[in-house]
Amino acid sequence: MLNYIGRRLIQMIPLLIGISILNFAIMHLAPGDPIDLLAERNATAEQKERIKELYGLNDPIHIQYLRWMQHVLKGDFGRSFVDGQPVMKSILERLPYTLYLNFLIMVVIYVVAIPVGIISALKQYSKFDHLMTSMAFLGQAVPSFWIGLILIYFFGLKLDWLPISGIGTIGLNVRTAGFWATVVDRAAHVIMPVTVVAFGSMTGVARYMRSSMLEVIRQDYVRTARAKGLPEKVVILKHAMRNALLPIVTLLGAELPLLFGGMVVIESIFSWPGIGLLSIRAIFQRDYLIVMAINMMGATLMVLGNFLADLLYVVVDPRIKYS
Amino acid sequence: MSEYLVEVRDLKKHFPVRGGVFSKVRAWVKAVDGVSFGICPGETLGLVGESGCGKTTTGRCILRLLEPTAGEVVFDGQDILQFDRRQMRRLRREMQIIFQDPYGSLNARMTVGDIIGEAYTVHGIAKGKERAEKVNELLEVVGLSPYHARRYPHEFSGGQRQRIGIARALALKPKLIICDEPVSALDVSIQSQILNLLEDLQEEFGLTYLFIAHNLSVVQHISDRVGVMYLGNLVELASKDVLYSAPKHPYTVALLSAIPVPDPDVRKTKILLEGDVPSPLNPPSGCTFHTRCPKATAHCKESRPEWREVTPGHFVACHLA
Amino acid sequence: MRKSLIMALASVMILALFLGACGPEAPAPSGNGGGADEPVKGGQIVFGMTGDPVIFNPILSTDVPSGNINSRVYSALVRANANMEPIGDLAESWTVSEDGLVWTFKLKDNVYWHDGTKFTSADVKYTYDAIRHPDYLGIRATDFKPITKVETPDDLTVELYLDAPYAPILSKLVIGIIPKHLFETTEIGKMKENPANMEPIGTGPYKFVTWEKGQYIMLEANENYFGEGPYIDQIIWKFYGDNQVMLAALEKGDIDYMGAIPPDDVARITEALSETHEIRPITQNGYTYIGLKQTDPIFKDKLVRQALMYGTNRKQIVDDVLMGHGEVVNANLPRLSWAYAGDELNPYEYNPEKAKELLDEAGWKLGADGIREKDGNKMDVKLLTSTGNKILEAALLITQQNWKDLGINVTVEYIEWAVLCEQYLDVAKFQSYALAWSLGIDPDFYLFFHSDAAVNEKGQLVGFNDVEFKNDRLDELLELGRTEMDKDTRKEIYVEAQKIVNEELPYVFLYANSSPAVMHKKVQGVTWGYAGPMFPELWWIKDGGN
Ligand SMILES: Nc1ncnc2c1ncn2[C@@H]1O[C@H](COP(=O)(O)OP(=O)(O)O)[C@@H](O)[C@H]1O
Ligand code: SF4
Ligand SMILES: [Mg+2]
């Protein structure tokens, strides 16, 4: 097993290098140039050359790549062309908010969607199940910015139950307002964004759980459990649900990168200081080093997530063994 | 009548067929449509019929693993369809089932010991060390070893798994075991081992079997009496000797003609049934067999033959019998 | 996001951004009710902003949000009053030599940086020399090109030496002065990396407190400000990623000010907030236009360009797209400018019949397919524009239909800003494109339409004259306008220049919008000028915010 883990980890290195080369190449070969955006519009070609020189954009692309790689290996992701700040600093300023939001979203999704999926499987074709199906359709069909704006309009503005946007009331913190008041304030701010995203993605997980559960409760081993005279609760929770959760649990591993992923629309609507807006701005401004860092972070997490999913399989399913 | 351990009266199970966006019920599959028979204590009743004729459904309805649409299931003199959940759970100790598929019927995430022993815990019979001992005993009874208890089902072959399934069914010392094609999924070489095991166990524990199979040859050896099903109905029921030597229903006759005969000198006319089994969604009128029956008459199309006892203990549903 | 980006990048053109600063010459506040009330100290004002600022360094920043903060944290030598005329800021007074080549500024004596260091002429020299340095990475080098030398005879005197008389020079000096003692430690080429860009130290009325990225920025009153004020204790800008959400925040009272209310929402907001809020149209110091490549076989003919002006229903665009919150423009200087030609320009009122006559006269005859043609060439026009501007998109839809009615086949292509710059605008390769200009406070527009600001022999664009407009008389006037110091004479020059532009049409001029800004009435002492609410150090909160 350790052997397997070691091998998998080593295999990741060439993969990530490949991804980074591809990433670097695509970005530098794509039309649009940061210098055209940074320089004066009437800058002369000579001036632009000078600026390129100062930003280190004059060398052949493979030299630029190697230089970048060298720095990255030392943990230095460079500085933004636009604001001159270290790339990592800009990312780390926003990452906690992205993690915080995504983590809550994921908890809500799983805490709500799993029981919902199970209930609608057990009560297949019931009113509840039909409602679920309709909600799933809605969640997929209605754009999240629209739901977001509607929620803001009603709960933020008309009813005045919740703050409109942001992560907290400015100046309100544990020191100024005490622990619980702070918790309530932060919770009030996070309810709407979590609801909107969770609503959109929850239905997916719930449907997945439902079909997984439907499949499982048709299995003979569930009948076996019933035939043993187990109470229905035990049959469902122990025999059916645990097996139905298998694919969901491993899905969690694959969703690791999502935890770090920005959400441009949600961040825009709810003025959430996440990684999404940073990344979209960097893309439009061709701020290569920020884009590279975010992309590489995403790629690493994706690779790690897949690996984690494979490991989780072993944990939850005795049939699978790696060597 | 009360000599039966279990008696089924006019049992019906209809499944809904759904369709459309809102999964409305569009039609009903009459998987079992009025079946009556009884099984005496210590007896083995064979239940035979082509795949899809409703054997499994019948078996599961008896155990209430499926809720019958109508009819009665009388066990030890009580209509168990009236039982509530608690009564049903207690009844599980009396009736058990061995499934056809030795792969799907064992929970892959539980050890063999837990699979077999769980019932002890649930019914408060034994736990801990005592439970382990009982499990070990059972494993030995079915021809496995105590150390197998710590393993997971995927580590076993099909035949071994079926032994695990049998051990599990035996755990609560039931009176009745419904064997739903317990050997169909196994290699021919292993089939007779399992059949012998089942026979030995019957003798040892005084079990009563409802033995389901899809051809007559498998049940010939093990059964005392045999029932033949077609499209959700019993068409003939008789003691093994009578049924095999003097079948009355054209369908039984056809099935018998399909049994390979060990002695090549004995020539038999093999009756080929024409056409496919009609769908239970839309069964033929009159005698449901008339679309394929070589002896069918116009009358058969209109009138449904009654389930009659033509000679004592020999029941047939055919106008010509 | 994109919109703010485009705004940010369009403001590459903004020669000055100053939503106020302070000075004794500032006109007396003529703002919201209770003018008799005395200003009181205290309170807070909260602004909404749609983009995060980038950098708090006035010589490096190019975006509007950074400009808003910089203009309060930093002071400049001069700033503009409500009528776009330069007045003193850090400069007490100034004189210009007879030959117009040396400008001498006397600085105010009681000025301190927010960290307590005394402000001197060395800071001014450092700032201007940084902009003139070859490694300077900002966008203001051109503004300072006429300056050949900066001298500081003493701590309170700055002398600027020019290579030729240059009338617009004062308008370039509205740029904030940065502290030498904090920046001299970094090379000019690496100035962006200096930490003072993120925690700015200026001489302005407000001191920087904190910036939570993507959330808010907080400033507090500078008690040692050299001018009058500030009165309001605390200024906060809250970030909103979406205009509709910002509107909701305004209605709810989370913010006290929002600029540029989208046209569609003006009626609703006016209805909801006119009791409690001041709602004022802010006329854009700039305009939206369609640039026509003057060398293009279709557009080289003046008759065709005039036909397009007559044949574009610009009034409808203002009425239907801007919902009336804007005006049709006919030349390149804004109504706000003191040099605006106004009535003397041809208004080109919508007249499709006249447009068709002009096209006929120019030899473009209607073909069988409804598209005009001349010498076997079809009148096919490719119009480029950048993605993400809904209002411009709607305006171009109308334009496209109007031109089609004239027999011109227009294809509109929407291109991402970075690509539009690299492949079309910066290399001056296009047939036509639609964009907007934001302008500075001086009427000088040499860079826009002088033939020397077009494409040089090497094929490089050297100014903003990407349409390659060339008119000898206009060249002459634009040169004169830069050297002439007398304001009245300059006005005459620029009026004639505008008439030429209005007649010759390097662009199809479309509109200038005037989206309203909304400010809570609790804010008193506001001067509404060309840039919206100005001189924020003189604002105060009714009852001091209590
Ligand atoms: N859960 C179910 N839902 C719908 N139809 C079913 C279901 N289970 C069985 N059937 C149908 O009932 C009929 C009898 O099935 P079954 O009892 O499994 O037959 P057998 O065991 O004799 O092969 C078949 O047509 C089958 O398709
Ligand atoms: S009733 Fe008629 S159709 Fe049915 S089995 Fe008998 S003969 Fe055949
Ligand atoms: Mg079956």
Does residue C267 fall inside a structural domain? no
What percent of chain B stands above pLDDT 90?
A: 59
Q: What is the pTM of this model?
A: 0.80
Residue B196 has pLDDT above 50, yes or no: yes
Does residue A59 fall inside a structural domain? no
Among A241-250, B96-105, B181-190, C73-82, name the one with the lowest average pLDDT: A241-250
Q: What pLDDT score was predicted for residue B267? A: 55
Does residue A230 fall inside a structural domain? yes
CA–CA distance from A182 to each of A101, C68, C212 (Å)? 16, 31, 18
Does residue A8 fall inside a structural domain? no
CB contact under 8 A, A232 and B152: no
A36, A170, A271 ranked by CB distance to C241: nearest: A271
Residues C525 and C538 in one domain: yes
Helix (H, G, I), strand (E, B) or coil at B304: coil
Residue with tokens 């006269």: C361
Q: What pLDDT score was predicted for residue B37? A: 94
Residue with tokens 């004729």: B53
Between vectors from CA C465 to CA C460 and to CA C466, what angle results, nearest 5°?
A: 60
Helix (H, G, I), strand (E, B) or coil at A282: helix
Rounded Cα distance between C166 and C162, Å, is 8
Distance B288 CA to ligand 1 centre (A): 17
Alpha helices in A56-178, H assignment, sequence order: 61-73, 87-122, 127-141, 144-151, 174-177
Mean pLDDT, chain A, whole residue set: 86
Q: Quick one: angle between helices A179-217 and A87-122, nearest 10?
A: 50
Does residue A281 fall inside a structural domain? no
- Domain range for C382 is 286-513
Rounded Cα distance between A22 and C26, Å, is 57
Q: Which of A163, A159, A160 is nearest to A193 (CA)?
A: A163
Residues C434 and C535 in one domain: no
- Tokens encoding A260: 């770090």
Residue A217 has pLDDT above 50, yes or no: yes
Does residue C211 fall inside a structural domain? no
Residues C365 and C378 in one domain: yes
Q: What pLDDT score was predicted for residue A53? A: 81
Among A195-204, B289-298, C18-27, C154-163, name the one with the lowest average pLDDT: C18-27
Q: What share of chain A is helix, strand, coil (3-state, %, to 5)?
A: 75, 0, 25
Q: Do chains A and C meet with 3 or more Cβ pairs nearer than 8 Å?
A: yes
How many Cβ atoms from other residues are within 10 Å of residue A138's Cβ? 13
Residues C418 and C524 in one domain: no
Residues C430 and C522 in one domain: no
A223, A230, A243 ranked by CB distance to B65: nearest: A223
Residues C97 and C60 in one domain: yes
Does a cis peptide bond (omega within 30 degrees of 0) precede residue C230? yes
Q: What is the DSSP string of B150-197?
A: GS-GGGS-HHHHHHHHHHHHHTT--SEEEEESTTTTS-HHHHHHHHHH
How near does any CA of chain A get to the CA of B13, in Å? 17
Query: Which residues lie closer than 8 Å to A27 by C-beta, 6 or more apart?
Result: A286, A288, A291, A292
User: Under a CB-based contact definition with an 8 Å cutoff, are residues C169 and C144 in contact?
Assistant: no
* Structural domains counted in chain A: 1
Pocket test for ligand 1, best of B15, B17, B67 (most atoms within 8 A of CB): B15
* Structural domains counted in chain C: 2
Rounded Cα distance between B321 and B98, Å, is 35
Does residue C409 fall inside a structural domain? yes
Does residue A295 fall inside a structural domain? no
- Domain range for A189 is 94-273
Rounded Cα distance between A133 and A239, Å, is 25
pLDDT per residue rounded down to tens, chain C (546 residues): 333 433 433 333 332 222 222 223 333 444 444 444 788 888 999 999 988 888 999 998 888 888 899 999 999 999 988 878 889 999 999 999 988 899 999 999 989 999 999 999 999 999 999 999 888 888 888 888 889 999 999 999 999 999 989 988 998 899 999 999 999 999 888 888 899 999 999 999 999 999 999 899 999 999 999 989 899 999 999 999 888 999 999 999 999 999 889 888 999 999 999 899 999 998 888 999 999 999 999 999 999 999 999 999 999 999 999 999 999 999 999 888 889 998 889 999 999 999 999 999 999 998 888 899 998 899 999 999 998 888 999 999 999 999 999 999 999 999 988 888 888 888 888 999 999 888 888 899 988 999 988 888 877 788 888 899 999 999 999 999 998 888 899 999 999 999 999 999 999 999 999 989 999 999 999 998 887 898 999 999 988 766
Rounded Cα distance between A212 and C185, Å, is 64
Q: What pLDDT score was predicted for residue C544? A: 75
CATH code at position C320: 3.10.105.10
Name the neighbours of A, counting chains with at least 3 Cβ pairs within 8 A: B, C
A130, A220, A229 ranked by CB distance to B99: nearest: A220
Residue with tokens 């090497």: C458
| Cβ-Cβ contacts under 8 Å, A319 against chain B | 108, 152, 154
**Residue A254, exposed/middle/buried by CB under 10 A (0-12, 13-18, 19+)?**
middle
Q: What pLDDT score was predicted for residue A323? A: 64
The residue with greater pLDDT, B256 or B228, is: B228
Residue with tokens 């736990």: B127
Q: What pLDDT score was predicted for residue C138? A: 80
The residue nearest atom 7 of ligand 2, judged by CA position, is: B296
Model pLDDT for residues A80-91, shown as the tens digit of each residue: 888 888 999 999
Q: What pLDDT score was predicted for residue C85? A: 84
Rounded Cα distance between C408 and C370, Å, is 8
How many Cβ atoms from other residues are within 10 Å of residue C104's Cβ? 16
Residue with tokens 């021919």: B188
Residues C473 and C525 in one domain: no
Q: What pLDDT score was predicted for residue C100? A: 87
The amino acid sitting at B179 is: C
Residue B266 pLDDT grade (very low, low, confident, very high; cuts 50, 70, 90): low
Residues C535 and C457 in one domain: no
User: Under a CB-based contact definition with an 8 Å cutoff, are residues C161 and C147 in contact?
Assistant: yes
CB contact under 8 A, A79 and C139: no
How near does any CA of chain B get to the CA of A27, in Å? 46
Residues C54 and C130 in one domain: yes
- Tokens encoding C532: 């919206």
How near does any CA of chain B get to the CA of A74, in Å? 45
Q: Say yes or no: CB of residue B319 within 6 Å of ligand 2.
A: yes
Residues C537 and C500 in one domain: no
What A25-28 contacts at long range (C-beta under 8 Å, 24+ apart), as own/partner pairs, is A25/A61, A27/A286, A27/A288, A27/A291, A27/A292, A28/A61, A28/A64, A28/A288
Among A33-42, A219-228, B156-165, name the one with the lowest average pLDDT: A33-42
Q: What is the DSSP string of C161-196?
A: EESS--TTHHHHTTSBPPPHHHHTTS-GGGGGG-GG
CA–CA distance from B273 to each of A159, A262, B295, B296 (Å)? 74, 66, 11, 13
Does residue C277 fall inside a structural domain? no
Does residue C256 fall inside a structural domain? no
Residue with tokens 């997916």: A204
- Which residues form the pocket of ligand 1, taking CB atoms under 6 Å from any ligand atom? B 15, 29, 31, 49, 51-57, 280
Q: What pLDDT score was predicted for residue B262? A: 59
Radius of gyration of chain A (CA): 24
Residue A299 has pLDDT above 60, yes or no: yes
Residue with tokens 């998987």: B31
Name the neighbours of B, counting chains with at least 3 Cβ pairs within 8 A: A
Give the number of the atom of ligand 1 that is nearest the alpha carbon of residue B181. 21
Number of H helices, E strands in chain C: 15, 26
Helix (H, G, I), strand (E, B) or coil at B137: helix
The amino acid sitting at B162 is: Q
Residues C356 and C481 in one domain: yes
User: Under a CB-based contact definition with an 8 Å cutoff, are residues A254 and A309 in contact?
Assistant: yes
| Cβ-Cβ contacts under 8 Å, A270 against chain C | 241, 245
Q: Which of C15, B282, C236, C90 is nearest to A42 (CA)?
A: C15
CATH code at position A115: 1.10.3720.10
Q: What pLDDT score was predicted for residue B270? A: 63
| Cβ-Cβ contacts under 8 Å, C428 against chain A | none
**Residue A180, exposed/middle/buried by CB under 10 A (0-12, 13-18, 19+)?**
exposed
A130, A221, A317 ranked by CB distance to B105: nearest: A221
Pairing of strands C377-378, B308-311: unpaired
Rounded Cα distance between C436 and C241, Å, is 22
Rounded Cα distance between C232 and C235, Å, is 7
User: Under a CB-based contact definition with an 8 Å cutoff, are residues A165 and A269 in contact?
Assistant: yes
Q: Which of A54, A65, A55, A57 is nearest to A26 (CA)?
A: A65
Residues C84 and C49 in one domain: yes
Does residue A131 fall inside a structural domain? yes
The residue with greater pLDDT, A322 or C472, is: C472
How near does any CA of chain C get to the CA of A107, in Å? 25
CATH code at position C164: 3.90.76.10
Residue B93 has pLDDT above 60, yes or no: yes
Does residue C411 fall inside a structural domain? yes
Pocket test for ligand 2, best of B230, B236, B252, B297 (most atoms within 8 A of CB): B297
Q: What pLDDT score was predicted for residue C326? A: 92
Does residue A112 fall inside a structural domain? yes
Q: Is the ipTM of this complex over 0.90?
A: no
User: Under a CB-based contact definition with an 8 Å cutoff, are residues C70 and C237 in contact?
Assistant: no
Full strand arrangement of the beta sheet holding C380-386: C326-328, C507-513, C286-292, C432-438, C380-386, C409-415
Between vectors from CA A192 to CA A159 and to CA C3, what angle results, nearest 5°?
A: 100
